[in-house]
Amino acid sequence: MKKFLFLILFISLLFSKEMLIKINNVSKEEIPFLLKEGFYIYEVGKNYIIGAIDEGKFLPIKNKYSYEILIEDMLDYHQRMAPGDNFGRFHSYQEIVDTFNIIAQNNPDLVRLDTIGYSVQNRLILAMKISQNAGSDEHRPRIVWDGTTHGNENIGAEVCLYLVRYLLSNYGVDPLVTHLINTREIWVIPIVNPDGMAARTRGNANGVDLNRDYGFAWWQETPAPFSQPEIRAIRNFFQRAPFVLYITYHSGTRAAMWPWSYTSAATYDSIFHSFLTQRYSYYTGYPAFQIARGLYEARGTSSDFGYGAEGALCLAIELCSPHVPDTTQIDTICRANLSANLEMLKRVGWGIRGRVYDSLTNEPIKAIIELQPPYSPVYSDTCGYFFRYCSEGTYSLRIFANGYQEKIIDNIYVPPDTYIFIDIPLVRDTLQPLFAYKNIFAIINDQPNYINYTFPSFVLGRENNKRLSLGVKGWVVYDMQIPIINGPGMDFMVIEDTIDPEGCSVYVSNNWNGPWYFCGVDTGTSYFDLSNAGVSYCRYIKIIDQGYGVNGPTGGYDLDAIEAVVSNVPALTIRQIVIYDSLGNNNGRIDPGETCFSVINLRNVGRQPANNIIGILKTNDQYVTILDSIASFGDIPPDSLRNNENDRFLIYASSQTPRSHIVNFQLYLYGSNYTDSLRFNLEIGELTVTDPIPDNRQPEPLYYAYDDIDTFYQQCEPFEWVEIRNVGTRLPITSDDQTIRIPLPFPIY
Ligand SMILES: [Ca+2]
Ligand SMILES: [Ca+2]
Ligand SMILES: [Ca+2]
Ligand SMILES: [Ca+2]
Ligand SMILES: [Zn+2]
């Protein structure tokens, strides 16, 4: 008998109403007080500040300043400007999703539509790619726009949609648009915060301000850096490929801004940042300034992340004031920004391009390319291509990559309004220490009244006397790009200022977001041994200031570089585990009651061959018996994969195994010059999403599915599947025996 559980959500508005206030005769010195009182600042004028405050928190501000109430109730105002479920003249979340899907279906050669993540309430976060042959990677300069990070700032999504429509409707008609689509890779993320958009709130469904959640220059205004699924989706999206320019839309004031937002220090690229924003202003009339100087210092923002961690030039555009414009203004705003965006699209193709590759093998290299001046890094993509925007001038390029000799190319003349292409072969250097490749987290505790002129990019590459000052109890995470191997003795070195040594504790992980394994604590420049963390290799290193330094401009650990000893030893890692269950249901996974063969793919990430490798598989799990636990892997040269295809392990899982049971295995490896043990997990009776209608629809199938009989471990047959064309709805199914009421768009008997 099936149980029916009805889930009813009561949405109650527990918060008092939010008001938009203009405070008069107020100076910038009052900003810290206002922020502390919960005042959300939209605009900082010469002698006024405009912002939002909950009615219940208004009293301290009301008592201290002269003010005007601009909007009595911001939610009510939003409902009047964007009325009803379809948001009137604005587009609702669903309308944007539907429109983007229709546009993608109508332009298959020019458009690819990806779901890059899900919101807290399981709404889709969409990213549209527009480029000739959108399905393939053509190595073109990349630009990305995003909108509606603050859910009640709908105009950002409108500007994104307007841009998309203009580009696609003018392809093959307008020569400039056609050229731009043929030669650029254009990405648009119309809605970063779908839940906030649906609920007409600034924050997401957890009430978090997403533009404080980025892990670069984050500071305690959200539960943790990259704590929200929407922002992790954006972060993951940026890991696909480097972008030349990132434009992020907000509203509430009119401004074309550039980073940094966390500090009033200038970016190394401020000459390009200010130039691009001035060009943006030319079309829109927006005042142009650095965020931290013209507005206020805000931490954990998208533009600091995009520039500071990912190497993209960034513009943060405030589209209008107040945050929701009168509907008669929507088209005017979209048109003005379109003109600015067409120029930005042209400019991302200008400057220096090149391809970095191995001088002997021609293999592409993921390198760091530093334009000099201004000494700021960009990255080459997985095929070795890079794109560095710059204006006319003569520059040098410094190119450095793990495992290769550094190269400097001087006297590169870049003509105006075009690009030059440089071939950059690098010479392999296997003895060079590994160094930090990318900043992942930067939680820098700057002291009030000091401006910290050191930046996380200073830690990239080898020791060079350029140091990042973490501040007291600040912490950072760096990606080493290539795993550091636990060889004999010490494995890596954390390099600090030698004059004024301070303490740091060091953790390691093989995942950017942990779990973190404690590796040691030391003072000044110190060596660390991965044996202390109990791992055989690691790719990410977390460094935390110990907190006993003094406050001041260089308070906290001053991190110059992380350098890993290149151990001249073999090091085996598990790359893939294949299950052969043709004796069972032959679904490629181990299910209860099955006897399966298993093949493990090992990769030697070390520098020496691992010879005559024998693997012994063990587990203490009560439901699993290993029937053949010994396999030979033979000789495994460096950078090579080998498996036990001809000598498979044999594993039996009891029919009593609970559903989705996780089994821990240990693989002991012995060779003529090698001993190690590796751990991995297998899930027995794993429940996975299968596509019962094999029509190659991409990416993830989006179906309503309902199961009318409770059965155990049978797939597809007991399900009645209905494929919903166009847009599906992701259902929050979290357990068995759960029924969710859904409005079926067809009769059911
Ligand atoms: Ca609408
Ligand atoms: Ca070691
Ligand atoms: Ca350095
Ligand atoms: Ca199976
Ligand atoms: Zn905003």
Q: Each residue of 248-281: pLDDT tens digit?
A: 999 999 999 999 999 999 999 999 999 999 999 9
Fill in the amino acid letter for 596: C
The Å distance, Cα 493 to ligand 2 centre, comes to 11
The Å distance, Cα 522 to ligand 2 centre, comes to 16
Handedness of CA 381, 386, 387, 390 (dihedral sign): positive
Report how far apart the first and last C-alpha atoms of the chain are (Å, whole number).
19
Q: Residue 5's pLDDT is what?
A: 36
Residues with CB under 5 A from ligand 2 (ion): 486, 491, 529-531
Instruction: Tell me the three state secondary structure of residue 159.
Output: helix
The Å distance, Cα 252 to ligand 5 centre, comes to 7
Q: 11: exposed, middle or buried (C-beta count within 10 Å: 0-12, 13-18, 19+)?
A: exposed
Average pLDDT over residues 195-214: 97
Instruction: Tell me the three state secondary structure of residue 338.
Output: helix
Which of the residues 153, 318, 496, 563 is marked catalytic? 318
| Ligand nearest to C-alpha 653 | 4
252 or 723, which is more confident: 252
The Å distance, Cα 141 to ligand 1 centre, comes to 33
| Ligand nearest to C-alpha 583 | 4
- Can you spell out the DSSP letters for 592-609? TT-EEEEEEEEEE-SSS-
The Å distance, Cα 47 to ligand 4 centre, comes to 70
Q: Residue 12's pLDDT is what?
A: 37
The Å distance, Cα 483 to ligand 5 centre, comes to 38
Q: Tell me how far apart the alpha carbons of residues 556 and 522 are, in angstroms, rounded to a whole number.
A: 13
Q: Residue 715's pLDDT is what?
A: 43
Average pLDDT over residues 718-724: 46
| Ligand nearest to C-alpha 688 | 4
The Å distance, Cα 458 to ligand 3 centre, comes to 5
The Å distance, Cα 315 to ligand 3 centre, comes to 27
The Å distance, Cα 465 to ligand 3 centre, comes to 5
Tokens of 713: 């471990």
445-454, 539-548, 720-729: segment of lowest average pLDDT? 720-729
Q: How many residues does the chain have?
A: 749
Q: Residue 102's pLDDT is what?
A: 94
The Å distance, Cα 82 to ligand 1 centre, comes to 8
Average pLDDT over residues 93-106: 95
The Å distance, Cα 86 to ligand 1 centre, comes to 4
Catalytic: 723? Answer: no
Q: Over pLDDT 70: what percentage of the chain?
A: 89
The Å distance, Cα 357 to ligand 3 centre, comes to 24
The Å distance, Cα 704 to ligand 2 centre, comes to 51
Provide CB contacts within 8 A for 332, sequence distance 6+. none
183-192, 461-470, 576-585, 688-697: segment of lowest average pLDDT? 688-697
Q: What ipTM describes this predicted complex?
A: 0.73
Q: 239 pLDDT exceeds 60?
A: yes
The Å distance, Cα 214 to ligand 5 centre, comes to 14
Fill in the amino acid letter for 467: R
Tens digits of residue pLDDT in 587-624: 889 999 999 999 999 988 887 899 999 999 999 999 99
Q: Residue 360's pLDDT is what?
A: 95
Average pLDDT over residues 185-195: 98
| Ligand nearest to C-alpha 684 | 4
Q: Residue 716's pLDDT is what?
A: 39
Q: Residue 15's pLDDT is what?
A: 55
The Å distance, Cα 530 to ligand 5 centre, comes to 43
Given pLDDT bands bounded at 50, 70 and 90, which one contains residue 698? Answer: very low
Average pLDDT over residues 314-326: 97
| Ligand nearest to C-alpha 51 | 5
The Å distance, Cα 81 to ligand 1 centre, comes to 11
Per-chain mean pLDDT for the chain: 89
Q: 690 pLDDT exceeds 90?
A: no
Tens digits of residue pLDDT in 11-27: 334 557 999 999 999 99
Q: 706 pLDDT exceeds 50?
A: no
Provide CB contacts within 8 A for 106, sequence distance 6+. none
| Residue 579 bridge partners (DSSP) | 598
| Ligand nearest to C-alpha 52 | 5
Average pLDDT over residues 156-164: 98
454 or 737, which is more confident: 454
Q: Residue 556's pLDDT is what?
A: 85
225 or 741, which is more confident: 225
Instruction: Tell me the three state secondary structure of residue 359.
Output: coil
Q: Residue 449's pLDDT is what?
A: 77
Of 368, 519, 526, the closest CA to residue 438 belongs to 368
| Ligand nearest to C-alpha 488 | 2
Q: 127 pLDDT exceeds 70?
A: yes
Helix axis angle for 93-106 and 155-169, nearest 10°, is 10
Tens digits of residue pLDDT in 399-416: 999 999 999 999 999 999
48-52, 162-166, 695-699: segment of lowest average pLDDT? 695-699
Q: How many CB atoms sit inside 10 A of residue 505's CB?
A: 17
| Ligand nearest to C-alpha 571 | 2
For 427-571, where are the E strands, in sequence order?
A: 434-435, 438-443, 468-469, 475-485, 492-496, 503-509, 517-523, 526-528, 537-545, 558-564
- Give the CA angle between residues 53, 54, 56 to the nearest 5°: 130
The Å distance, Cα 251 to ligand 2 centre, comes to 52
CB 408 within 8 Å of CB 398: yes
Q: Residue 743's pLDDT is what?
A: 63
Instruction: Tell me the three state secondary structure of residue 335.
Output: helix
| Ligand nearest to C-alpha 532 | 2
Q: 702 pLDDT exceeds 50?
A: no
Q: 246 pLDDT exceeds 70?
A: yes
Q: Over pLDDT 90: what percentage of the chain?
A: 78
For 259-350, where are the E strands, in sequence order?
A: 288-290, 313-319
The Å distance, Cα 421 to ligand 3 centre, comes to 28
Q: 145 pLDDT exceeds 60?
A: yes
The Å distance, Cα 111 to ligand 5 centre, comes to 27
Rounded to the nearest angstrom, the gap between the alpha carbon of residue 558 and the centroid of all alpha carbons in its chain is 26
711 or 141, which is more confident: 141
Given pLDDT bands bounded at 50, 70 and 90, which one contains residue 2? Answer: very low
In a 13 Å sphere around the CA of 138, the CA atoms on its Cβ side amount to: 18
182-191, 233-242, 674-683: segment of lowest average pLDDT? 674-683
Of 330, 336, 245, the closest CA to residue 282 belongs to 336
Q: Residue 447's pLDDT is what?
A: 77
| Ligand nearest to C-alpha 685 | 4
Q: Residue 718's pLDDT is what?
A: 40
Of 594, 618, 502, the closest CA to residue 555 belongs to 502
Tens digits of residue pLDDT in 553-564: 567 899 999 999
Q: Residue 138's pLDDT is what?
A: 86
88-97, 149-158, 532-541, 731-740: segment of lowest average pLDDT? 731-740
Tokens of 476: 């950072």
The Å distance, Cα 497 to ligand 3 centre, comes to 10
Tokens of 34: 């206002």
Q: Tell me how far apart the alpha carbons of residues 294 and 283 are, in angstroms, rounded to a whole number.
A: 20
Tokens of 747: 């009769």
Phi, psi of 36, rounded to the nearest 5 degrees: -65, -35
CB 99 within 8 Å of CB 45: no
Question: What residue ranges define each of the domains in the chain, with the CATH number in brackets?
Answer: 93-347 (3.40.630.10), 351-426 (2.60.40.1120), 434-564 (2.60.120.260), 572-684 (2.60.40.10)
The Å distance, Cα 448 to ligand 5 centre, comes to 25
In a 13 Å sphere around the CA of 678, the CA atoms on its Cβ side amount to: 23
Q: 7 pLDDT exceeds 50?
A: no
Q: 700 pLDDT exceeds 80?
A: no
Residue that the structure tokens 């090698």 belong to:
674
Of 461, 465, 460, the closest CA to residue 476 belongs to 460
| Ligand nearest to C-alpha 196 | 5
Average pLDDT over residues 517-533: 94
Average pLDDT over residues 677-706: 62
Q: Residue 375's pLDDT is what?
A: 86
Of 722, 731, 744, 734, the closest CA to residue 118 belongs to 731
Residues with CB under 5 A from ligand 3 (ion): 458, 464, 466, 560-561
